[in-house]
A and B are shown apart, each in its own frame.
Chain A
């Protein structure tokens, strides 16, 4: 049915969760664009036919008025009403035809627009997901896990790379301006200050000894630590540590 393909795409866009993205559905995108193109050619055709029909109507309409005006005084014959009746039915049929085509054009046009919206939404959601993923990975596009990068289209991968590069360029510029000798924690969430200075973390994968601002910590698997949030936050995001009791 009309617009079904786009609907499927929209549903797929809805499936994108905070930590999951379905594979890029190239086939579905192709189907939707194909449908959209087809609709556009149909619309063009219809508009063309509409134009000719309207022109025809105008022409016939004007000829009829001519016909009517040419015999104002003549005795009402048998032929005249039938002729005008025929002309009328013809006219109304043409009118209905025009209205039909009009409605169909409008429908096609709306569907086309809807398709476009669905396409855009689908890609927007994916791009959004990609961006938030990049931020949690501290803008290292190479860190995207293989399981996820398999699901991205080549264009999306390019996008991720370019986005990261653009960001790092900007960061370098800002750093040069603000603090030439220091580096900014670019990916830190600047909107909300952390509630606790310390967090309780459990080591999932052995990290060995890490050097933090506050000294050396040995993060062995199977131990639990209470540490400065800033020291270990990145390890939590890449899944080496598990943040417990986050409330």
Chain B
């Protein structure tokens, strides 16, 4: 048993910890892929390890060659290393190809990339994969097929005598011996021949099964962060708001990047809802620093009563309306007292006013469910900006045309907001306006092609003095932080890691996310205006800023742009063309290009129902195989081996030849 079903995740942790029991130094290496989900999962794992005071080492990795390099420098030379943990990487390849699995080394893989490599899931005793239920449910037949092929390959002569129906190695041995003893009478011989023929057939069938499994294309399974949260839960770790929040962020990132579909997301939301309710009730209020004078004393009491009121509300099942937290400027934690003192000078009446408005904002740092609008970063800038720079709004209203832009203005007016109000920071709007906005949006959304403008999400409250964040805000912020900068990818990785707990870093991420949204939507709209996306016979090709290096040289920004363009074109083109695969290209460095193949999560290439997964449905991304085939034909210097197989790097001069090859394979 080398995959772990979702009820037995704790075994994985046990294996991780076992390694450290034998040595006092660092015995655990954690490889984390550079993406949001992996960072959230990592944060959960390190929290667990820290609780148990277990030394570990974290290595951010970007592609498979990073891992093999580490194998040479770290694992082979250092016998102290007992456990390798892979977060969001390495499930798709046979782990033995990457690292030298010496005795005593155990590997735990928590990866949302699918399909699993069968050697990892069924073969290698040292490797443990966390399964989200798909292996258990769908892959029973595949397992027997795989084992049949593997076991009979090794011992061809002996097992050819086996009865084909038996696939377990332990059974077949005894059976084989018995048959041989019975010897050589002609009837038996004919029977044997028949059996062999049958067995050959079966093997062919099994091989075709395995082939079909690998050929289905790549997709995503349960978020790494959610898996880690379940692990933590099974380990009896008292759940805190932070832990649950990280899992939510991980899952939200999958949803926003179209890695899991609506059903998969709904599954996570239901699970997270229960957990978030649990931690929100338990979460302590943010204590106010000791106040000295009377006015602040009075304020304190009012504050506490308001928070207990909110607590009462939530216990009674009234939704605490947390979507509309009044926003006050961010004040550093240390300034709290000074801030209170300054505030104490204000007359009590004014303060009472202040407090009634903040009544709804409970003092706790909890997680609340909310219905989120698909307007980007709504809580952090004005409604006008949030709508203008939302890929969703741009796509549905076609804001690249003047007609679309006037429709946007009309929509704002219909929502009952004046231009000035729409341009003001959203959090400063009157609470009634905000409530009204959500209601009006639900009413008139359908007229503007936006009936599905809202989705279920979560909001994290940081008390009433810091603006609250939705899961998608957080994901956008982390993606912005992950943008490669001067210091290389690692600095971004660790910045995002810090941002999960440090508010000032997160704030910087939010600012970056605003820039990124502006850029992505701006670039997308420009490209649509100029009709820069080429529609070829078998696929669409978008080339971004081929002259200059832009921030689209990173897969994160490029993927967002690609998703925007692809969805727009799907919704707005003729039926015949709407389902074409989408490829986007942007310059990475002076002479290299980054190529990305994108499939929508709904309506992409489909697989047979028996491969249907819980989280990604039946949609698969087949670009990995297509790219590989095209690259093989071309024989050019192409860098593959990112954890996402639909990403590759190619030399600028090879690109046109590569596109020619792609035509043949798509």
Chain A: residues with Cβ within 8 Å of the partner, total of 22
Contacting pair B80 A200 (CB below 8 A): no
Task: Report the bound CA distance from A207 to B386 in whole Å.
Answer: 46
Write the nearest CB–CB distance from A18 to chain B, whole angstroms: 16
- Residues in chain B near residue A216, CB distance under 8 A: 25, 78, 80
CB-contact partner of B490 in A200, A218, A222, A227, under 8 A: A222
A245 at interface, CB cutoff 8 A: yes
Tell me the residues in window 2-56 of chain B with beta carbons closer than 8 Å to chain A beta carbons.
23-26, 46, 49-50, 53-56
Contacting pair A198 B73 (CB below 8 A): no
Tell me the residues in window 183-228 of chain B with beta carbons closer than 8 Å to chain A beta carbons.
none
Write the nearest CB–CB distance from B24 to chain A, whole angstroms: 4
Chain A CB count within 10 A is highest, among B54, B55, B491, B497, for B55
CB-contact partner of A226 in B56, B74, B491, under 8 A: B56
Contacting pair B80 A225 (CB below 8 A): no
A228 in contact with B55 given A215-B80, A218-B74 (CB within 8 Å): yes
Contacting pair A226 B59 (CB below 8 A): no
CB-contact partner of B494 in A214, A217, A224, under 8 A: A224
Write the nearest CB–CB distance from B401 to chain A, whole angstroms: 46
Contacting pair B60 A227 (CB below 8 A): no
Contacting pair A222 B23 (CB below 8 A): no
Chain B contact residues: over half helix, strand or loop, or mixed?
mixed
> What string of 1s and 0s marks CB contacts (under 8 Å) between A10-24 and chain B?
000000000000000
Contacting pair B53 A197 (CB below 8 A): yes
Write the nearest CB–CB distance from A236 to chain B, whole angstroms: 15
- Residues in chain A near residue B80, CB distance under 8 A: 215-216
A169 at interface, CB cutoff 8 A: no
Write the nearest CB–CB distance from B39 to chain A, whole angstroms: 11
- Residues in chain A near residue B73, CB distance under 8 A: 218, 220
- Residues in chain B near residue A227, CB distance under 8 A: 26, 55
CB-contact partner of B501 in A214, A221, A245, under 8 A: A245
A222 in contact with B60 given A215-B25, A217-B25 (CB within 8 Å): yes
Contacting pair A223 B55 (CB below 8 A): no
Contacting pair A225 B26 (CB below 8 A): yes
B58 at interface, CB cutoff 8 A: yes
Task: Report the bound CA distance from A245 to B46 in whole Å.
Answer: 12
Contacting pair B49 A214 (CB below 8 A): no
A88 at interface, CB cutoff 8 A: no
B238 at interface, CB cutoff 8 A: no
> What string of 1s and 0s marks CB contacts (under 8 Å) between B50-78 and chain A?
10011111111000000000000110001
Task: Report the bound CA distance from A171 to B596 in whole Å.
Answer: 64
- Residues in chain B near residue A202, CB distance under 8 A: 494
Contacting pair B498 A244 (CB below 8 A): yes
CB-contact partner of A224 in B23, B57, B78, under 8 A: B57
> What string of 1s and 0s marks CB contacts (under 8 Å) between B497-513 and chain A?
11001000000000000
Write the nearest CB–CB distance from A43 to chain B, whole angstroms: 47
Q: Can you name 18 A-B pairs with beta carbons within 8 Å?
A: A198-B50, A200-B50, A213-B24, A214-B23, A215-B23, A215-B24, A216-B80, A217-B57, A218-B57, A218-B73, A218-B74, A222-B60, A223-B58, A223-B60, A226-B56, A227-B26, A244-B494, A245-B501
Closest 4 CB pairs of A and B: A215-B25, A222-B490, A214-B25, A224-B58
Extra contacts, 15 of them, besides A215-B26, A226-B50 (Cβ < 8 A), are A214-B25, A215-B23, A215-B24, A215-B25, A217-B57, A218-B73, A220-B59, A222-B488, A222-B490, A223-B59, A225-B57, A225-B58, A226-B26, A226-B46, A245-B498
